[in-house]
Structure 1
Amino acid sequence: MIFIALDNLTQLSGILGFISISISWLYGFIVLFKYIKTKERMLLYFFLAVIFTVSPWYPSGLGYIYWLITNEEIIYPVYVLLGTIGVPIALIAWLQIYMPTLHRKQNRIVSLIIVGLSIVFYIYVFVFLFAFADPVDSLIGIKRSAIDIDYKGFVLGFLAFSLLVSTITGNDFSIVSLKVKDNPVVRWKGRFLIISFNLFAIGAIGDGFIELTPITLIIFRMFLVLANTFYYIGFILPKWMKKILHLK
């Protein structure tokens, strides 16, 4: 048993990571409760999207809690699976909201392509995690601390692809909503959603590709929290927000 110490920046990353995923889970389970009551399929897709969109931050947040309890780090294969296995689910779930709404005729072919790429992604991850004597971290990801990692190879490519697709389609979905002239509720949803998708893109890129300091780490993780908040408001537009906006 090896006990490890975490520096202040790593601990801050873990704390902020746990806050981010906790808030996402909160929104997700509110929506899941609505789905259980209404059986509306779109709500299930939203639940899956909001829960798994933040899965790349699961190792940071959950890894920190694990360290607090055990004073050890999560083993590498579990760490990688926590951070990657939910990403295709989030992308597929979001596209099952986007495609049937705006591009119903292309839904089947797009879904097949994304599912195919996701299968390739899973095969890649599992092969380089388990097919050899040791995980090939140079083709999966190299840990920069006990709870943070720099992804490599096809893993990094797929994560970037997922972010690009979700940002482009999310902005398209939002812009279409903004153009609905006779429904102020839909227009407000579009405003919240366009903020959400772009905040998430900025936060994810900053968190993943910029050298972090305590200040930049706080800023980018705050972007992620705000992105999920605006995503929830934009998709659901709860009664309390309608009241603030004086909407019926």
Structure 2
Amino acid sequence: MGLAYIFLTSSWWQSAFNFLSLWLLDVPVNAYVTLFIVNGFIAPAILCWLYSFAMLLYEKIKNKILIPSIILFGAYEVLLIILLVFQPSLVGTVGENYIVSRSILTLIFTIVAILIALITGCILSYDALRSTVPEIKWKGRFLLIAFIFLTIGAILDSFSWTAIFLVIFIKIILIISVMSYYLGFFLPAKLADVLIKDIQ
């Protein structure tokens, strides 16, 4: 589950890698590498997430969920690599200030991946919210917040923004999403006690 969420936020990695490359080597990250970082981990992320989702809620039919997903997302990943080698403009472009613009293909795939993460995340959250155990209910609330914020941040990030306040805003959304996701699965006992007592 952690690996899935790390991959889901991979489109934000290129900013960090580019900063480090410019700082340490005084050169930006190669455009091909940048395009792969932004787009290449989305399919593995969804596969990892669907595996976790299926194991948690639908273990008996997990193969019916996973096998078609592996075929579909595996084919996309192969296509992505081929396009990066032979026609990178069909994956995206790296413009001024190292802002990545996705192509129609990668933009549509990213939006589909976001919707899959949102829908399955909401299903998992709803399942937790139905629990009679207060701690699990709180985990469900945090997971719901995580996936809503991830969706907002990811959709905004799917488009190219140059305004610095928007870039910062998107990063803040991501931070909130990551923190909520962590609390949704690894809610510290002390924090759980405080939250439960406040409700009571």
| 2:61 equivalent among 106, 124, 136 | 106
Work out the CA distance in 1 between the residues paired with 2:20 and 2:98: 10
Contact 1:141-1:152 at 8 Å conserved across structures: yes
Q: Which residue of 2 aligns with 1:39?
A: none
Change over 3 Å in CA distance of 1:129–1:49 after alignment to 2: same
> What is residue 170 of structure 2 aligned with on the other side?
220
Which position in structure 2 is the counterpart of 1:178?
129
Pairing of 1:194-209 with structure 2 (within 5 A): 194-209=144-159
Q: Following TM superposition, by how much is the alpha carbon of 1:212 offset from its aligned partner in structure 2, in angstroms?
A: 4.5
Report % sequence identity: 26
- Indicate the residue corresponding to 2:5 in structure 1: 50
Q: Which residue of 2 aligns with 1:80?
A: 35
Is this contact kept in 2: 1:59–1:148, CA < 8 A? no
The answer as to 2:31 corresponding to 1:61 is: no
Q: TM-score, normalised by structure 1?
A: 0.73
State the aligned residue count: 197
Relative to the length of structure 2, the TM-score reads: 0.89
Task: Kindly state the Cα deviation for residue 223 of structure 1 after the two structures are TM-superposed.
Answer: 0.5
Q: For residues 133 and 190 of structure 2, what CA distance do their matches in structure 1 show?
A: 18
3-state SS of paired residue (1:71): coil
Separation (CA, whole Å) in 1 of partners of 2:164 and 2:116: 29
Q: Give the distance between the partners of 2:5 and 2:188, measured in 1 at CA.
A: 16
List gaps (5 residues or longer) in structure 1.
Answer: 1-45
2:72 aligns to what?
117
1:87 Cα shift?
1.7
